[in-house]
Structure 1
């Protein structure tokens, strides 16, 4: 059974933290996408599904802002997952 050195333990822990954080951030972004937004007392719906029958111009800024926030948060989560995969690939190449 191979033993994990001090540096190997740190890299493994970093990999797990990045993966868990990435998944949590992506799920948080998805949850934000379903959060209802409003503008001037008008319920605009969510970033994923605007409300039916709303005046488009009254909710444009609120929905655009919500969509931008969701995109940024999900992108940050995906970047964490990519970083976790990169750390794993580098670790595997070094240990090979």
Structure 2
């Protein structure tokens, strides 16, 4: 079976890029989860820890939006890490 000389380098580079991007995006999502949000001048706290004593309806929309953003960003990071693992498994099976 013929192999391309540079294909291994490309796959290794792709694997590293996916892994690094996955870690960076996941950590970015975690950082977004600790970012404080506010609604109408009321500090609502963060997606991970809402502020104590807030009126729930005043901050519901801001906290829901923040929680959704955090979920999407962390999920994207985890998908990048899964893709990196999948590329590594396929590369190892092909080279074996």
TM exceeding 0.5: yes
Q: For structure 1, list consecutive stretches of 5 or more residues without a partner in the other structure.
A: none
Partner of 2:29: 29
Q: Spell out, residue by residue over 1:19-66, the C-alpha distance to the aligned partner (whole angstroms, 9 max, x if none).
A: 000000000000000000000000000000000000000000000000
Q: Trace 1:1-96 onto structure 2 (pairs within 5 A).
A: 5-96=5-96
CA distance, structure 2, for counterparts of residue 33 and residue 91 of structure 1: 35
**Structure 1 length as normaliser, TM-score?**
0.95
Cα RMSD between the aligned structures? Answer: 1.0
- After the TM superposition, list the runs of 4 or more consecutive aligned residues in structure 1 that deviate by more than 2 angstroms: none
Cα deviation for residue 81 of structure 1 reads 0.2
Count residues in correspondence: 93
**Structure 2 length as normaliser, TM-score?**
0.95
